[in-house]
């Protein structure tokens, strides 16, 4: 069955994701660059295959060395300098449709083949992809990558960038002060690729920041667990916790998601945010904290919802208040997300 989605191949729960490549061993831009940064072992294997002249247009191949995810490298051009050709796309699609069962592929996510750096028009490529993919007996996703706001792992990384002044992750590789200032001046960004368009952020700086933040986020297991149905923390709009929408099971949902990102439940490790690894986790879970505070809640209620120590939740609330994300109310003490408080105030004024 064929499905369309606005997100990227990295955010779809499938067995195999498709990477678009050339045949000369360079993953230097676009989707291929992100694959290189996320999957360095795959990139090294690809380079070796290219040296041996094993990578050819019309013949996509599988990389299976990651436990939970397969990668289908799909050649869309001979050389990175030159554009793709529509006949190469068709040859590759035909080859895939003929051989996917033999390869053991059970579900797959495709990008728009050859349409970015390849220079092809989506209006020409789309009918071909539908022709060869729509009647396959597996789930096939065509990922349009047209979300305005980053989701999934990318969303968590963008959140860390937008909080650079508070999180301090940039100190881990001593980013130059002038570049840091240019990044801060350009914030907020909505997609990670916008970082590369900021003046002074060269390709190496972009790669370094991507690798660091991807490591931080992956450390807390933000990537979807493709081997089970367990809830994992994803910053996708469709998956964000809504306490008001699902009031019957907020504790279970929030608890399972905080466990998934590896937040310590031991009070002894949670005295301060800045002195332990939970500080990075704070910026990942901040959107969920704000969502949970769409209505007024006490510290005890929040602690119970997240199944975490009161001391850690207290530190989170203090930091969120310092950042202007939540507001502390009194008599009795409770908290609410700032955006929701403003919304409620406007509703009250209109009602009057």
| Residue showing tokens 């001391």 | 311
Radius of gyration of the chain (CA): 23
Q: What is the pLDDT of residue 322?
A: 84
Q: What is the pLDDT of residue 13?
A: 94
| Cβ atoms within 10 Å, residue 345 | 10
348: buried, middle or exposed (CB in 10 Å: 19+, 13-18, 0-12)? exposed
Per-chain mean pLDDT for the chain: 81
Over residues 162-184, the pLDDT tens digits come to: 998 887 788 777 788 899 999 99
Instruction: Name the 3-class secondary structure at 107.
Output: strand
Please state, in angstroms and as integers, the Cα–Cα distance from residue 99 to each residue in 94, 128, 197, 295, following that order: 9, 17, 39, 53
Tokens of 106: 């059970």
Is 273:315 a contact under the CB 8 Å cutoff?
yes
Contacts of 120 (CB under 8 A, 6+ apart): 83, 84, 86, 89, 113, 114
Over residues 85-116, the pLDDT tens digits come to: 999 999 999 999 999 999 999 999 999 999 98
Does the model's pTM come out above 0.85? no
| Residue showing tokens 């968590």 | 156
Question: Within 110-202, where are the H helices?
Answer: 122-133, 152-162, 164-167, 177-186
Q: What is the pLDDT of residue 271?
A: 41
Provide the pLDDT confidence category of residue 286 given band limits of 50, 70 and 90. confident
Region 134-149 average pLDDT: 96
338: buried, middle or exposed (CB in 10 Å: 19+, 13-18, 0-12)? middle
Is 275:322 a contact under the CB 8 Å cutoff?
no
Task: Identify the architecture of domain 250-351 in CATH.
Answer: Orthogonal Bundle (1.10)
* CATH tag, 2-143: 3.40.220.10
Instruction: Name the 3-class secondary structure at 173.
Output: coil
Region 68-84 average pLDDT: 95
Q: C-alpha dihedral over 186, 187, 193, 199, to 10 degrees?
A: 20
Please state, in angstroms and as integers, the Cα–Cα distance from residue 290 to each residue in 36, 283, 299, 314, following that order: 33, 11, 13, 14
Is 108:18 a contact under the CB 8 Å cutoff?
yes
**Cα(69)–Cα(280) distance, rounded to whole angstroms?**
26
Q: What is the pLDDT of residue 250?
A: 41
- Helices then strands, counting H and E runs in the chain, come out as 13, 8
Provide the pLDDT confidence category of residue 276 given band limits of 50, 70 and 90. very low
Q: What is the pLDDT of residue 58?
A: 96
**Cα(253)–Cα(122) distance, rounded to whole angstroms?**
39
Q: Domain spans of the chain?
A: 2-143, 152-217, 250-351
| Cβ atoms within 10 Å, residue 57 | 21
Provide the pLDDT confidence category of residue 333 given band limits of 50, 70 and 90. confident
Helix (H) or strand (E) holding 251: helix 250-260
């Amino acid at each position: 069955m064929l499905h369309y989605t606005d997100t990227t191949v990295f955010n779809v729960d499938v067995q195999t994701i498709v990477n678009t490549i050339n045949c000369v061993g360079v993953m230097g831009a676009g989707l291929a660059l992100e694959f290189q940064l996320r999957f360095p072992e795959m990139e090294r294997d690809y380079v070796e295959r290219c040296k041996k002249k094993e990578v050819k247009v019309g013949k996509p191949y599988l990389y299976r060395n990651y436990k939970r995810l397969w990668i289908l490298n799909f050649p869309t051009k001979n050389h990175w300098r030159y554009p793709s050709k529509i006949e190469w796309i068709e040859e590759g699609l035909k080859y895939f449709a003929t051989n996917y069962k033999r390869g053991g592929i059970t579900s797959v996510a495709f990008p728009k083949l050859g349409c970015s750096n390849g220079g092809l028009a989506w209006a020409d490529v789309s009918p071909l992809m539908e022709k060869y993919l729509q009647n396959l007996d597996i789930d096939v996703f065509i990922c349009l990558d047209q979300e305005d706001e980053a989701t999934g792992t990318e969303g968590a990384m963008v959140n860390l960038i937008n909080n650079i002044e508070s999180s301090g992750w940039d100190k881990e590789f001593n980013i130059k002060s002038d570049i840091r200032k240019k990044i801060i001046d350009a914030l907020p960004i909505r997609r990670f690729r916008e970082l590369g368009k900021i003046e002074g952020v060269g390709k190496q700086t972009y790669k370094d920041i991507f690798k660091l933040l991807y490591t931080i986020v992956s450390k807390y297991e933000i990537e979807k667990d493709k081997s089970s149905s367990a809830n994992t923390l994803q910053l996708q709009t469709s998956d964000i916790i809504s306490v008001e929408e699902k009031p019957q099971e907020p504790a279970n949902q929030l608890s399972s998601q905080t466990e998934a990102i590896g937040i310590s439940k031991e009070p002894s490790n949670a005295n301060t945010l800045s002195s332990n690894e939970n500080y990075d986790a704070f910026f990942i879970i901040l959107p969920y904290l704000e969502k949970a505070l769409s209505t007024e809640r006490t510290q005890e209620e929040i602690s119970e919802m997240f199944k975490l120590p009161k001391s850690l939740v207290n530190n989170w609330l203090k930091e969120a208040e310092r950042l202007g994300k939540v507001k502390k109310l009194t008599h009795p003490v409770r908290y609410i997300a700032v955006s929701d408080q403003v919304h409620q105030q406007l509703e009250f004024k209109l009602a009057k």
